[in-house]
Structure 1
Amino acid sequence: MKLSVVIPAYNEEESIGETLRTLYASLVQAQISHEIVVTNDNSKDGTLVRLTALAQEIPTLTYYTNPGPNGFGYAVRYGLERYQGDCVAVMMADLSDDPADLVRFYHKLQEGYDCVFGSRWIKGGRVLDYPAHKKTLNRVANTIVRLVFRLRYNDCTNAFKLYRRSTMDGLKPFLSPHFNLTLELPLKAIVRGYTYTVLPNSWTNRKYGESKLKIKEMGSRYFFILVYCLIEKYFSQGDFRKRS
């Protein structure tokens, strides 16, 4: 089973080298057939120059430049339309996600699940240097999602997840242009009846640059996706559910 890793990158000149080298080394050591697909989201710094050099060093690296419209969701979607693997994970360009967790997710998926979701807030999960205000908002938002959808899963907004290709195809069309895509993908998968399991994962705050998530701009967008998926759950009559 070939693994694809889609990574959106906007102004990640300082982080992208360490991220890709660490990811590649981990996947090679685990002997996982893979490709790394980076979407340069029309960066204004030297990200594209760094990717050009890294592609000479990392044979499994493919990169694209998203000409626009730009935004986290658009960049991820650009990669999701171009990956070649049998399963696909979304990871961050700042190495906040641990490649060792991805290896565990990959092996777990082969037990037959449609998706493997990560949680930083269950036993075995770990967060390092998580900003206090973001943690508070994260826990409130995920509690709302969990209660509204009657889920036990407590980290829907965590972008770090792994999907089979057939699952990802079943979640289209994508609606979210921004970080609300991280909520759209798992909620659609759950509402549409795809099987999933949850593993603990770790998260480490970025060493370089600034977070691209603008909390003040995202509230209404997350709410839109939550309501959309809720409407689909109760009023679509199962039209989008997984076909067995």
Structure 2
Amino acid sequence: MDLDHLAVVMPAYNEAEGLPEFLRELHAALSPSAGRLDLVVVDDRSTDATVPVLRELADDLPGLTVIEAEANRGHGPTALAAYRAGLALRPDLIVHVDGDGQFHGIDLARAVRAAVATRADVVHGVRRGREDPWFRRVLTGIVGVVVGFAAGRRVPDVNTPLRVYRPGPLAELLELVPENALVPHVHFSLAEARRGFRVRYLEVASLPRRGSNPTGTMWGVDRPPLLPPQRLRRFALEAAAELWRVSLRPRAAG
């Protein structure tokens, strides 16, 4: 047992099919690492059965807390709300992972062990074997180049959702971005480099999302598209403007 208290936080939207299995896997993989394990899911007003399924699961899974957002706000604001809910529990470490279950539970356990062993401020899970559409990988690569240039060094997998934070550095990062940020992890990656945080990178496997829909419902399509869907194109433009305004322009935060 490495820790007294570990909290896992995750945003979720329409993940009724795959999330229960993922949470059970995380609980089994991470329970040996801490005397107390909390699993906090913030649901972004799902339109499927995610909330009732999770509330039923909470009766059998120790430490599971389900928080239902007041309104649908998107992934970024929901992730930030999940981080704040985790901080309020005052754990030794906070693990963030998305609710689509695209990681192995054992890789989260490896990331936690790396954080403990290295005393890093944050451990990033660097995804390998991603099966995302080509345009999402290209977009991630472009953002990585921009952030690397601004940070003065390369930042692998700049938007990875698998991260392990110590509470102090995480609280510092949360002060730098607005509550409605679309791409908080991109802002975090840049601020970590600029502020000299102790960052460790750990290669992890990237899995297909769990559940029967390979694309989820975020981008308004029900099968992998050949070209970027309109919703993703609009999101990319809004995120680029936000990245400039919050983190890239002269005298920006971070």
TM-score range, shorter chain: 0.7 to 0.9
Deviates more, 1:221-230 or 1:107-116: 221-230
Superposition pairs for residues 16-35 of structure 1, below 5 Å? 16-30=19-33, 33-35=36-38
Superposition pairs for residues 98-137 of structure 1, below 5 Å? 98-110=104-116, 111-120=118-127, 126-137=128-139
Distance 1:10 1:69 in 2: 9
Cα shift readout 1:20-54 (whole Å, capped 9, x = no counterpart): 11111111245564211000111111011101111
Deviates more, 1:141-150 or 1:5-14: 141-150
Distance 2:186 2:169 in 1: 15
Q: Kindly provide the amino acid, as one letter, of the partner of residue 247 in structure 2.
A: C
5+ residue gaps, structure 2, are 220-230
Aligned to 2:157: 155
Distance 2:238 2:7 in 1: 27
Aligned to 1:93: 99
Aligned to 1:217: 234
What is the aligned-residue RMSD (CA, Å)? 2.2
Aligned to 1:229: 247
Cα shift readout 1:139-185 (whole Å, capped 9, x = no counterpart): 22212322332222221111111110001111133326354112122
Q: Residue 149 of structure 1 contacts residue 230 of structure 1 at CA under 8 Å; is this kept in 2?
A: no
Cα deviation for residue 92 of structure 1 reads 1.3
Q: Kindly provide the amino acid, as one letter, of the partner of residue 14 in structure 2.
A: N
Q: Relative to structure 1, is the Cα distance of residues 226 and 34 closer, same or farther in structure 2, using a 3 angstrom cutoff?
A: farther
Give the 3-state SS of the residue equivalent to 2:174 in structure 1: coil
Cα shift readout 1:77-124 (whole Å, capped 9, x = no counterpart): 22222221222121111210222121111111122211111212xxxx
Q: Relative to structure 1, is the Cα distance of residues 118 and 29 closer, same or farther in structure 2, using a 3 angstrom cutoff?
A: same
Give the 3-state SS of the residue equivalent to 1:220 in structure 2: helix
Q: Residue 180 of structure 1 contacts residue 218 of structure 1 at CA under 8 Å; is this kept in 2?
A: no
Q: TM (normalized to structure 1)?
A: 0.85
Distance 2:47 2:161 in 1: 24
Give the 3-state SS of the residue equivalent to 1:158 in structure 2: coil
Cα deviation for residue 6 of structure 1 reads 0.8
Aligned to 2:222: none
Q: Relative to structure 1, is the Cα distance of residues 227 and 148 closer, same or farther in structure 2, using a 3 angstrom cutoff?
A: farther
Q: TM (normalized to structure 2)?
A: 0.82
Deviates more, 1:206-215 or 1:38-47: 206-215
Moved over 6 A (4+): none
Q: Kindly provide the amino acid, as one letter, of the partner of residue 34 in structure 1.
A: L
Superposition pairs for residues 64-103 of structure 1, below 5 Å? 64-68=67-71, 70-83=73-86, 84=89, 85-103=91-109
Aligned to 1:123: none
Aligned to 2:202: 199
Give aligned pairs, total. Answer: 231
Give the 3-state SS of the residue equivalent to 1:8 in structure 2: strand
Give the 3-state SS of the residue equivalent to 2:67 in structure 1: strand
State which of 40, 43, 46 in structure 2 corresponds to 1:40.
Answer: 43
Distance 2:111 2:167 in 1: 15
Deviates more, 1:219-228 or 1:129-138: 219-228
Give the 3-state SS of the residue equivalent to 2:165 in structure 1: strand
Cα deviation for residue 226 of structure 1 reads 4.7
Give the 3-state SS of the residue equivalent to 2:159 in structure 1: coil
Superposition pairs for residues 163-174 of structure 1, below 5 Å? 163-173=165-175, 174=177
Give the 3-state SS of the residue equivalent to 1:89 in structure 2: strand
Give the 3-state SS of the residue equivalent to 1:189 in structure 2: helix
Give the 3-state SS of the residue equivalent to 1:37 in structure 2: strand
Distance 1:226 1:107 in 2: 35
